[in-house]
Amino acid sequence: MVMPNHLSLAKGPETLSELDTPLKQGDYVHALKLLTKLSHQHIGLLQGAIQKIVADESMVDNTFKLRVLLFQSEQKLNEQLIDEAASIIESVIAQSEYVPEKTVLVLALLQKAVLNLYRNNANESIQLFHACEQMLESINDVEVEIQIAIYGYHFFSESDSHKAAEYVYRALDLAKQHQLVYWEAYSLLHLGTLNTLLNNNAVALDYYAESFALLSQLQLNIPMADNLMCQFNIYTRMQDYDTAITSLEQAIQLGQHCGWDHKIAICYGNISTLYLRQSNFEAAKIVAEKDIALSRQLNNAYNIGVAMFRLGRIEAGLGNIAKAIELINESISIRKNIISNTQLSHVYQILFPLYAQVGDFKSAFETQSNFMKLKFEIVDAEKTKESEALRAKYEAEKREAELKEARLQHTESELKALKAQMNPHFIFNALNSIQEIFFLGDKRLANKHLSRFSQLMRSILKSSGKKTISLQEELTMLEEYLSLEALRFGDTFSYSITMDDNVDPYTLDVPPMIIQPFVENAVKHGLLHKEGEQCIQLHVKFNESRNIIEVALFDNGVGRKASAEINKHRQSHESFSTSATQKRFEILNQSTVELFSFDYEDMEDENGLSLGTRVHIVLPIEN
Amino acid sequence: MGKEQIRAIIVDDEEKARNMLQMLLDEHCPDVNVVTHCKNVPEAVTAINAHQPDIVFLDVDMPGYSGFQLLDFFPEVNFDIVFTTAFSEYALNAFRVSALDFLLKPIDIDELIQAVAKSKQKKSPEIYNRQLHLIRESQQKKAPETIAVYTIEAVEFIRTEEIVLLEADRAYTKIMLLSGNIILVSKNIKDFEETLSSHPHFFRSHRSYIINLKHVLRYSKADGGAIEMKLQKEVPISKDAKSIFISKMESI
């Protein structure tokens, strides 16, 4: 089927006749150039030319024929006819084994890589890509190198914009160096799409304009039309709907009568959607009908379905609910088996309120249940995908962890075990204190302390796997702990936590629960048996020249001597938290320059009576 | 009478938790009228469509569908969600990234009263939906692309790749952007370290700094080491961070 050429820009027919001479003379390099140009100007004619060449049995150069087939598969990819493209690509790969020149194989593998991206096989895709990169050295072809770089952009565009940008810039540099204007325009276009992804609207538009100018110099109407479709996206995002529509109308004009019709249908669809979005239903309807007519002509069931769904929404907007329901149902049946669950759920979501509007509550209910059912399937599928990703991440992290030094691992697990030993002490002491409030019957107060207690538990759980936490977190834990103890002791108990001005608790890190055992000891052994006022004072200093935190903890309790006397009948009671702490300090000291240390100071008056206990704790910090 | 009633739905898989919350609301938030309880997400979707509530108290950790998955059913959320959670690190991270509030269980009465008061204040549906969108994203992507932060004036959405570095300022953090703008946020640097812990480009180079490795210009070994960042900003590097820094720079 040969189409008439109305647009002065489309130079297709002349190029086609130009093709005869090089073909006859066997100048295939030139012929390929002309075919490339044709693919940018008139796809209909290109397809005619491809068929003629493939069918011509007098042509003996197999390499050239394979290259020509790749034009065909590329077109199929552009039209999203993935399976058809796949079978052509596979046959080219199979045949290219017998061809000594490797360019055709690389290009075929690269197309296969792109195809795998469409099919979401990222792993296989990237492997093919690396294979292409390796083979590149042996063929030394700049245009292939540029195409590989552009693929790299596609692969990374959504996951790693910096890497994607590196690839586009490589393509752009190569194109400029070798004065390949088309590829320069193509690279600029992708800088535009990259910036679109990054939400840099103005920058993207600049790149598109630069690319467009080069393309119009070359008079390549099809890439120009593609370029305008990219611009439409930006204008839509900027909510400049008028310019968005104008871009699409220009694209349609450039792409008319040259085999670009499947994209024209998409343009109509988008224009219609833009009108719909502005509630301009009359205008939307005219364009939507054009879309349907063209999609019917192209016999593209999927597009017909999408267009009908859109028309249904437009009719609903015009108040023709019955008509809308009819169209939307038809849009489902026409896309049977090819509509994705996500799209179908969207259709149902629009459909069920329409049924309700016309009073057909039975259908409304059914449609809504269908919508819900689908939605759950979708969410389930996503969840499976997520959990797979999580598992992969978990395994990767596990492997990483295994690579860590054995000694360090040993030390840390030992530390963890010690902390786990300390926590139950802490937990049950706090629980003890809180139990009493339940019996006071003050619900509000009970709630307050329960919240405090759960907050404390959360902090402990959170910190237990960590090497360090901020001093702020440690002090908050102590504050929570002490506030619960204050409850137990009643009005005679007071505590204070203070620090010097140069201590920034948010940036200084300490091992978790490093001060807590000392506070716990002070309460248990110092204050528990003390008559009268009980007080705890904790003061933090930061010695910047030595890079150490100095904690001074004072309690006015009975003193260590008296406490030992009181506890002497209880076997090995006191030893627990002190020995655990001692052990922990020793382990910590294996990995620092300054030493973790603590020493007790028993304070007595001249008569040898206890005034309390002071403990000095030194905590080195990481720089 | 006269006082506007707030219509609420409670979603939690545990009956005791639902009843407890209802009791707390009845006693301490009398203007909240709980219209129904739901024990899972499917029930909640139906109930929300039927009742059009003002607030949904939504437990995050439920078997089957997590509370976050409720969001999948409402492209535009036109009610307030008060998330509740007992202890789940992944949920906390979603709240950090989106700067949304949540209630920890067991529920503190004052925090509950505050949350209800807050939901009565007028807020921008666009901003709220964007924050909810960040929650959805945080469930799908490992590294956050955008984070929401509260500044003095408003909620700001920051693309993580625009961040050059974060600098501690006591309980506050200064975020320096590629544009040269500096945003002051009332969250401490440790919070940000956690928010960005899953992001491969961010690194705590020093107790006062988190840097974006993508915006490192050079590293000089002189004077104990310093990293030169874009925007002519030089940051110190701590002794222990050096080897990690170098291996991280090699891997990105």
Contacts of A621 in chain B (CB under 8 A): 207
pLDDT-derived band at A345, boundaries 50, 70, 90: confident
Q: Are B39 and B58 found together in one domain?
A: yes
Q: Are B35 and B97 found together in one domain?
A: yes
Task: Name the DSSP class of B6.
Answer: E
Closest-CA residue to B105 (of B91, B124, B94, B93): B91
Tokens matching residue A66: 């394979």
Residues in Cβ contact with A536 at an 8 Å cutoff, skipping those fewer than 6 apart: A482, A494, A495, A496, A519, A522, A523, A527, A553, A554, A555
- What is the average pLDDT score of chain B? 90
Segments forming the whole domain that contains residue B214: 146-251
pLDDT over 90, % of chain A: 34
Is the bond into B125 cis (omega within 30 degrees of 0)? Answer: no
Q: Are B136 and B159 found together in one domain?
A: no
pLDDT-derived band at B2, boundaries 50, 70, 90: very low
Q: Among B140, B172, B200, where does a domain finish?
A: B140
Contacts of B110 in chain A (CB under 8 A): 448
Residue A211 has pLDDT above 80, yes or no: yes
> Which one of B69, B106, B159 has the shortest CB-CB distance to A450?
B106
Closest-CA residue to A533 (of A518, A553, A555): A555
Q: Is the confidence metric ipTM above 0.85 for this complex?
A: no
Q: Does residue A378 sit within a domain?
A: no
Q: What is chain B's length?
A: 252
Q: Does A382 touch chain B (CB under 8 A)?
A: yes
Decide if A447 and B45 are in contact by the 8 Å CB cutoff.
no
CA distance B21 to chain A (A): 12
Q: Are B134 and B157 found together in one domain?
A: no
Decide if A379 and B87 are in contact by the 8 Å CB cutoff.
no
Question: How many Cα atoms sit within 13 Å of A485 on the Cβ side?
Answer: 25
Q: Are B114 and B131 found together in one domain?
A: yes
Q: Does residue A232 sit within a domain?
A: no
Q: Does A454 touch chain B (CB under 8 A)?
A: yes
Q: Does A383 touch chain B (CB under 8 A)?
A: yes
More confident call, A569 vs A175: A175
Encode pLDDT of B54-91 as tens digits. Answer: 999 999 988 888 899 999 888 889 999 999 998 777 78
- State the pLDDT at residue A5: 36
Q: Does residue A118 sit within a domain?
A: no
CATH number of the domain bearing residue A605:
3.30.565.10
Q: Does residue A533 sit within a domain?
A: yes
Partners of A617 in the β-ladder: A551, A598
Angle of helix A161-177 versus helix A181-197 axis, rounded to 10: 160
Q: Are B17 and B136 found together in one domain?
A: yes
CATH number of the domain bearing residue B204:
2.40.50.1020
Q: Are B44 and B154 found together in one domain?
A: no
Residue A6 has pLDDT above 50, yes or no: no
> Which one of B46, B161, B189 has the shortest CB-CB distance to A507?
B189
Segments forming the whole domain that contains residue A533: 407-620
From start to end of chain B, where are the E strands? 6-11, 32-38, 55-59, 80-85, 102-104, 146-150, 155-159, 163-169, 172-177, 182-185, 202-206, 209-212, 216-220, 226-229, 233-236
Q: Which of residues 133-162 of A touch B (CB under 8 A)?
A: 161-162
* Amino acid at residue number A36: T
CA distance B198 to chain A (A): 11
Q: Does residue B1 sit within a domain?
A: no
Q: Are B18 and B134 found together in one domain?
A: yes
Partners of B182 in the β-ladder: B176
Q: Does residue A73 sit within a domain?
A: no
Q: Are B243 and B159 found together in one domain?
A: yes
Separation CA A293–CA A297 (nearest Å): 6
Q: Are B163 and B132 found together in one domain?
A: no
Q: Does A378 touch chain B (CB under 8 A)?
A: yes
Q: Does A461 touch chain B (CB under 8 A)?
A: yes
Tokens matching residue A582: 């001692």
Residue B212 has pLDDT above 90, yes or no: yes
Decide if B46 and A372 are in contact by the 8 Å CB cutoff.
yes
- State the pLDDT at residue B1: 44
* Amino acid at residue number A100: P
More confident call, A231 vs A22: A231
Count of structural domains, chain A? 1
* CA–centroid distance for A309 within its chain: 31
Q: Does residue B126 sit within a domain?
A: yes
Separation CA A23–CA A28 (nearest Å): 7
Q: Which of residues 240-299 of A touch B (CB under 8 A)?
A: none
> Which one of B72, B189, B214 has the shortest CB-CB distance to A162?
B214
Q: Which residues of B touch A (CB under 8 A)?
A: 42, 45-46, 49, 65, 69, 72-73, 87, 89, 104-111, 139-140, 142, 159, 161, 168, 170-171, 188-190, 206-208, 214, 238-241
Contacts of A448 in chain B (CB under 8 A): 108-110
CATH number of the domain bearing residue B124:
3.40.50.2300
Q: Which of residues 489-518 of A touch B (CB under 8 A)?
A: 504, 506-509
Q: Among B123, B140, B157, where does a domain finish?
A: B140
* Amino acid at residue number B133: H
Q: Are B103 and B159 found together in one domain?
A: no
Q: Among B140, B158, B182, where does a domain finish?
A: B140
Count of structural domains, chain B? 2
- A508 backbone dihedrals φ, ψ, rounded to 5°: -90, 130
Q: Are B44 and B114 found together in one domain?
A: yes
Reduce the DSSP state of residue A607 to 3 states and report it. coil
Separation CA A218–CA A12 (nearest Å): 13
Most confident among A358-362, A507-511, A549-553, B63-67 (mean pLDDT): A549-553
